[in-house]
Amino acid sequence: MEIISNDPIDPTRIYELIGKDTAGSVVFHFAAVKENTENKRTKSIEYRANGDLEQELRTISEEIRKRWEIEDVLIIRRLGLLNIGDIISLVAISSSHREEAFSACSYGVDRLKKMVTVLKKETMV
């Protein structure tokens, strides 16, 4: 499942959203706005869609499903103005085995960082 949200990502809801009937492992990665970037202090970051964001997220999910034997994948991408500590994105993978779940999750995180349909504008202090 892929979700694009302008609302804060609630980590307490995430486990309920991913399929896990046959999974022995569920791995989550939350990306958050950090205070320091390249020796500068970040005040906030604004993320905007630039193109078919939904399709790019679907493509990432499909790539994960083709490469690893997983039960489910959940990707959430946040848009809008985010402050220090806000969750930017989530990749969650459920699988029978932890190796598959960790590898697939790591790949998903790497792919999110390379997205071309999201514009990022940082405001520094």
Give one DSSP letter per residue of 46-104, joined into a string.
EEEE-S-HHHHHHHHHHHHHHHS--SEEEEEEE-EEEETT-EEEEEEEEESSHHHHHHH
Measured in Å, how far apart are the chain's first and last C-alpha atoms?
36
Cα–Cα dist 62/48, whole Å: 23
pLDDT the model gives residue 12: 87
pLDDT the model gives residue 100: 95
pLDDT the model gives residue 80: 97
Domains of the chain: 2-124 (3.90.1170.40)
Cα–Cα dist 22/72, whole Å: 10
pLDDT the model gives residue 76: 97
> pTM of the predicted model, to two decimals?
0.91
Task: Report, in angstroms and rounded to the nearest whole number, the Rg of the chain calculated over CA atoms.
Answer: 15
Q: Which parts of the chain register pLDDT below 50?
A: none
The position carrying tokens 């103005």 is 81
Q: Which of 15, 29, 17, 12 is nearest to 101 (CA)?
A: 29
pLDDT the model gives residue 78: 97
